[in-house]
Amino acid sequence: MSSAVRAGAAATPVKPGRARLRIPTRTPHQAAAEAGSGRLGGRLAGVPWALPAVLFVGVLLVYPFFRSVYGSFFDDNGFTSHYVGLDNYTRLIDDPIFGRSLLNTVLWVAGTLLLPVLVGLAIAVATHRMRRGRIAQLVVVLPYAISGAATAVLWKFILTSDGTLNQVLRAVGLDSLARPWLLEWPASTISMIVASTWQATGLNVVLFAIGLRAIPRDTVEAAELDGATGWRMFRHITLPQLRSMSVVVVGMAVVNSLKAFDMVWILTQGGPARSSETLALTMYREAFLLFHVGYGSAIALVLSVIVVACSWLYLRRQMPGTSPR
Amino acid sequence: MGRTFRNLFVAGTVVLWLVPVYLLVVNALTPVASYTGNASWTSHGFALWDNLSTAWTKAGIGHSFLQSLMYAVVCGGAAVLIAAMAAFAVVVLPLPKPAFWFWLIYSGTLFPLQMFLAPLFGMYADGNLYDTRLGLMLVYVAYAVPFAFFLVRNQMTTMPPEVTEAAMLDGASFWRIFWRIHIPLMASSLGAAFIFQFTAVWNDLLFGITLSRSPDVQPVMATLSNLNNAYASSGPPVILAGALIVSVPTLVVFLTFRGLFLRGVAATAR
C-alpha cells in the first residue's frame, strides 16, 4: 500500500492546455501514456496497484495450478513420489469409476446449464408485468440465499428412501414411481441436479427480470403494432434483447456447475459404490482419502481442461476487448 | 387462454418452490424426542428454540458460525478492495499489456478448485499454515479476488475517461483519484462484488474440509457437513435447525442489499 501512495505522490500534475484540445475518444490508458509518461509515474504506474491481486492469485491459485500439472506425472502417495510419466493418464482410460465420474460431470454441466437457465427464463417471462409477480419471484429467489450445504441437508430429507418425496408418491397412489432416489444411479444424479435447480434458479429469475425491465417499451409496442404476439414476440423481440443478460447468466451457470461438490458430498458422498461421483468428488477422494495424490491431480487436470476450454470458447466470443490478441 | 396458463404455471412454481422451505421449517420445529424417524408434514410440538440452541452450542454450529462470519466479512472486504485496485490499474492507469494482466488475474476463476487443493495442502503443511485461520483467510481472499475483479472491471470500463483526466488536470494523485472518484462511483458494483464474495466464502465447504481439521478453525459449512454425517446421534430436527442457522447471514445480506446487488449486476451486464 505504501508503495502505491508513493507512486501516486510522485505523479506531478499535468499541465492544463494539452488535454483540453483533444476530442475525448480515447481510453484513460492512452490519455495517460500520451500526456508524458514521466509526469504520470511512467508506463508502469499501474503495476503497484495490480500487484496485491497478482500476488494472491499467482501464489495461491496459479502456482498451485502448475504444481498440480507437474504433480500429475508422479506416483505420489503423500509420503514418497516417483516419476511415472503419463501412467496416471493411461490409468484414467481403464478406470471404470473415472468413466462414470466423467459421465456424471457432463450430466451436471448439461443439467445445471439447461434447467436453471430455461426454468429461470420461463419464470421471469411469466411473472413480468404480472400482478404480484414480484412476490412469486421473491419466493423462487429465497433458496438462492440458502447455502449449498444447507440445501443438501434439506434435500437429503426429501430424497431418502422414507423421505417426503416417496411419502407423497405413495399418498397419491404412484407407488410404482417411489424409489430409493439416492441409492440408484442415474436417479441419484438426476435428483441431485433437480435439487440444485431448486436452489440456483432464483438468481437467474432476478437477472432475467432486470433484463426484461430494460427492454425499451417502444420496441415492444412497435412489435405489437406489427402484429407480433406470444411466441413470435418472445422469439424475435424478447430473446434478442435479453442477450447481454444471458451472457452473465450462462457464465454464472458454468461456475455453478462446478459447485456440484457440496451437494454430492453431503447427499450421497458419491455413493453407492462411487456411482454418483463427479470429477470434483473423484479427485477429492483419490487425493485426500485414498492418498493417490498424483492420480488425483491428473483427474483435476482433465476437469480443468474441460472447464477452461468451455469458458475460453464462451468468453472469447462474449467479451470483446479482453482478447489477448 | 394464455393468461390462465401463465397464472397456473406461476402458481405451480411457487408451490413447488415453497414445499422444501415448508418442510425445512416444520421439521426444524419438531422436538427431537417426538421425532418419528420419518419426515413429517405437521409439527409435533414446538421446540424450535431448543433445536436451535442444541445446534448452536452442543453441535458447535455457533462457534464456527462466528468464525465464518469473520472469514466472510474480512476476506470479502479485502478481496473487493484488492480487486478494485487491480481493476483501477488495468482500466485507468498506464500499464503495459492490460489484457495480459486481465487474464492473469481472471484465470483464478477459470480453474476448478480441485486443481489447487493438493499443492495448497502441501504448501500449507510446509508453511505451518495448515489448520490455521490465517491460512484459510489467505486462500479465501485469493479465491474471491478474480470474480470481484471481473465485476468491478466491467463497470469501470463504462466510466468516461474524461472524469479521470479532469481530476488529473486538477493535480489529484492516483491515490486520491482512486478513493475520491472511482470508489464512490463504483459503489454499486463494489457492493455487488462484496455480496457475491461474502456468499462465496460463507458457503465454502471444500477448502474448509481440506485445509483445516480442528473445530477452532473450521468454517461453518464444514461443521454442518460433519453434523450431517453424524445424522443418527443428533437427530434430523437439530440438523435442519443448523441448516436454518447457517442460512440466516446470506438471507439477511441478500434481502437487505437486494437493490444494491441488482444495480451492481445490472451495471455489469451492460
Q: What is the pLDDT of residues A68-118, one digit of tens each?
A: 888 888 887 767 778 887 888 888 888 888 888 888 888 888 888 888 888
Predicted confidence band at B68 (pLDDT cuts at 50, 70, 90)? very high
Minimum distance, in Å, between the CA of residue B194 and any CA atom of chain A: 14
| Tens digit of each residue's pLDDT (9 = 90 or more) over B131-189 | 899 999 999 999 999 989 988 888 888 888 888 888 888 887 888 888 888 888 888 88
Using the Cβ of A116 and the Cβ atoms of chain B, whether some distance falls under 8 Å is answered with no
Q: Residue B206 and residue A262: Cβ atoms within 8 Å?
A: yes
Q: What is the DSSP string of A211-247?
A: HHHTS-HHHHHHHHHTT--HHHHIIIIIHHHTHHHHH
Using the Cβ of A207 and the Cβ atoms of chain B, whether some distance falls under 8 Å is answered with yes
> Nearest-CA residue of chain B relative to A55?
B142
From the list A64, A142, A296, the residue facing B120 with the nearest CB is: A64
Region at A251 (left for phi over 0; alpha for psi -120 to 50; beta for the rest): alpha
- Is the Cβ–Cβ distance between A303 and A101 less than 8 Å? no
In the prediction, which pLDDT does A10 show?
38
Closest CA to A302 of B142, B207, B114: B114
Using the Cβ of A92 and the Cβ atoms of chain B, whether some distance falls under 8 Å is answered with no
Q: Residue B109 and residue A255: Cβ atoms within 8 Å?
A: yes
From the list A28, A53, A145, the residue facing B165 with the nearest CB is: A28
Tens digit of each residue's pLDDT, chain A (325 residues): 333 333 333 333 443 434 444 444 445 555 544 444 444 557 777 888 888 999 999 899 889 989 888 888 888 776 777 888 788 888 888 888 888 888 888 888 888 888 888 898 888 888 887 777 788 888 888 887 777 778 888 888 788 777 778 878 887 877 777 777 888 878 888 888 898 889 888 888 888 888 888 788 888 788 878 877 777 778 777 888 787 777 778 877 776 676 578 788 888 887 788 888 888 888 888 888 888 888 888 888 888 888 777 777 776 666 554 444 3
Which residue in the block uniquely carries the three cell numbers 487425493?
Answer: A287
- CA dihedral for A98, A100, A106, A111, sign (positive or negative): negative
In this structure, the number of other CB atoms found within 10 A of the CB of residue A240 comes to 11
Q: Which residues are registered as beta bridge partners of A83?
A: A74
Q: Residue B112 and residue A58: Cβ atoms within 8 Å?
A: no
In the prediction, which pLDDT does A12 show?
39
From the list B174, B203, B270, the residue facing A147 with the nearest CB is: B203
- CA dihedral for B164, B168, B174, B176, sign (positive or negative): negative
Contacts of A9 in chain B (CB under 8 A): 173, 175
Cα-Cα end-to-end distance for chain B: 35
From the list B102, B119, B270, the residue facing A71 with the nearest CB is: B119
What was the ipTM of the complex prediction?
A: 0.83
Q: Residue B168 and residue A13: Cβ atoms within 8 Å?
A: yes
Region at A271 (left for phi over 0; alpha for psi -120 to 50; beta for the rest): beta
- Is the Cβ–Cβ distance between A150 and B246 less than 8 Å? yes
| Tens digit of each residue's pLDDT (9 = 90 or more) over A282-295 | 888 888 888 888 88
Using the Cβ of A170 and the Cβ atoms of chain B, whether some distance falls under 8 Å is answered with no
Contacts of B157 in chain A (CB under 8 A): 321
Contacts of A78 in chain B (CB under 8 A): none
CA distances, A169 to each of A187, A250, A312, B59, B137 (Å): 15, 34, 44, 34, 46
In the prediction, which pLDDT does B72 show?
93
Minimum distance, in Å, between the CA of residue B242 and any CA atom of chain A: 8
